[in-house]
Structure 1
Amino acid sequence: MTTLCTALPEQLRLLLVDDHRIFLDGLSLALAPLCPDLHIHTAQNADEAEACLRQHDFDLILLDLRLPDVPGLELLQRWQRQGRMTPVAILSASDSNLDAQAAMAAGALGFIPKSADGDDLRQAVTRVLLGETLQAPVSGDKPPLTPRQQEILLLLADGLPNKAICRRLGVSEDTVKTHLKALFQELDVHNRTACVSAARQRGWL
């Protein structure tokens, strides 16, 4: 770990985006040893994050998937469309392989579980800062799904109806139904509840 850290610049500016203030405070303390002159900014929702980005350039953004106003994955995709070059790593309470795969497909450079201890967290952040892409964990039964199908499955597991999924992803209801049909066929099920259950059994959620 020491060898990795010496390769970092002496000054870094990080943006931490999470809706839990206590977690942000703990994360800031855990990251403090990264370099001598570390500037940490925090945001508790997408609006605050975008306000920070208008004011500063950051070396890395640590982004939670579950935000109160805009889902983290949707926010990441928005930044990708805008051509924002700031590296983003997802920091999530989810240990789901599917969450990780969807985040990487959306442009994240790493997926770090919140269950990581301080040393593992600093090591993962250091690797991303040094330009490395942290491969998402892969289960033995990798889902043969497209990134869009992965997104829909996640929203399905959150209990969202088709119309809400349409609004969240900006697609038509027919498109959602087409993807759901493909998911049902892949998992050999006939309804939404069975789809989520089968996906969990395979370790996709």
Structure 2
Amino acid sequence: MSALLNQLPASLNLLLVDDHNLLLDGLSLVLGSLAPDLRIHKAQTAEEARQLVGKQDFDLILLDLRLPDGSGLDLLRRWQQEGRLTPVAILSATDASHEVQAAYAAGARGFISKNCGAEALRDAVSRVLLGEVLPGPAARSHGRLTQRQFDILLLLAEGLPNKLISRRLHISQDTVKFHLKVLFQELGVNNRTACVSAARQLGLL
């Protein structure tokens, strides 16, 4: 067991959200050695997860991106909007760049592959529990874009209008318009559709 694991508190309360029973059982076994008093709760749908989070506090939520009744990202965004401080790490079978970036933009503290080994999973979960934000599996440069401009670009790619982008990022619509103007100039385009298309061609999305 690593030094990181030894620093964890003796009592931990985790929530695992995934629609596959076998994966949930496997995760429970792998994470079972994290703490002497480890309580693991399981949810197979977004609704089940919402209900559990509404009833009790968790030290960490491991969340799948795709659930039978909705998107894991939408669920994460809802918790962020509600002001919930529980750290959330995405557990996914994919590490597609746009999904990784969208997860971090939504407030995820880590993006963990379902294909990683048991020790790597325990280490990643431990680091998040200790307050660390894990680097993305396919981290890459945003070119000349600032992080704020990149965040706006990600939401633009989701088709969100300025009003929703401003709400999601907690900035004014005028600030969104300013950053969009800079984005258009940087990418040499004059509309939102062309901006997203150019960003994808450049590998930014």
* 1:147 Cα offset (Å): 3.1
- TM-score, normalization by structure 1: 0.73
1:73 maps to 2:73 = yes
Count of residues in Structure 1 that have an aligned counterpart in Structure 2: 188
Say whether the 8 Å CA contact 1:139–1:203 is kept in structure 2: no
Amino acid at match of 2:140: S
Q: Cα–Cα, structure 1 residues 52 and 146, in superposed 2: closer, same or farther, change >3 Å?
A: same
Report the 3-state secondary structure (helix = DSSP H, G, I; strand = E; otherwise coil) of the residue aligned with 2:120. helix
- For residues 104 and 111 of structure 2, what CA distance do their matches in structure 1 show? 8
Structure 2 gap segments, 5+ residues each: 167-182, 189-194
* 1:50 Cα offset (Å): 1.0
Q: Cα–Cα, structure 1 residues 54 and 201, in superposed 2: closer, same or farther, change >3 Å?
A: same
Amino acid at match of 1:29: L
Alpha-carbon displacement from aligned partner over 1:101-145 (angstroms, at most 9, x marks no partner): 111111111111111111000000000101111122313676986
- For residues 37 and 152 of structure 1, what CA distance do their matches in structure 2 show? 44
Q: What CA RMSD, in Å, does the superposition of the two structures yield over aligned residues?
A: 3.3
- TM-score, normalization by structure 2: 0.73
Once the two structures are superposed, the pairs formed by residues 76-95 of structure 1 within 5 Å of their partners are 76-95=76-95
Amino acid at match of 1:150: L
Aligned to 1:3: 3
Say whether the 8 Å CA contact 2:16–2:63 is kept in structure 1: yes
- For residues 131 and 17 of structure 1, what CA distance do their matches in structure 2 show? 20
Alpha-carbon displacement from aligned partner over 1:162-203 (angstroms, at most 9, x marks no partner): 7xx88xx899xxxxxxxxxxx999989xxxxxx999978866
Structure 1 gap segments, 5+ residues each: 156-161, 172-182, 189-194
Q: Cα–Cα, structure 1 residues 39 and 203, in superposed 2: closer, same or farther, change >3 Å?
A: farther
Say whether the 8 Å CA contact 2:155–2:165 is kept in structure 1: no
* 1:151 Cα offset (Å): 4.9
- For residues 52 and 184 of structure 1, what CA distance do their matches in structure 2 show? 43
1:44 maps to 2:44 = yes
Say whether the 8 Å CA contact 1:141–1:202 is kept in structure 2: no
Aligned to 2:24: 24
Aligned to 1:147: 151
Q: Cα–Cα, structure 1 residues 83 and 197, in superposed 2: closer, same or farther, change >3 Å?
A: closer
- For residues 32 and 200 of structure 2, what CA distance do their matches in structure 1 show? 37
* 1:2 Cα offset (Å): 2.2
Amino acid at match of 1:57: D
Once the two structures are superposed, the pairs formed by residues 72-151 of structure 1 within 5 Å of their partners are 72-137=72-137, 138-139=139-140, 146-151=150-155
Say whether the 8 Å CA contact 1:96–1:203 is kept in structure 2: no
- For residues 197 and 149 of structure 1, what CA distance do their matches in structure 2 show? 11
- For residues 109 and 22 of structure 1, what CA distance do their matches in structure 2 show? 24
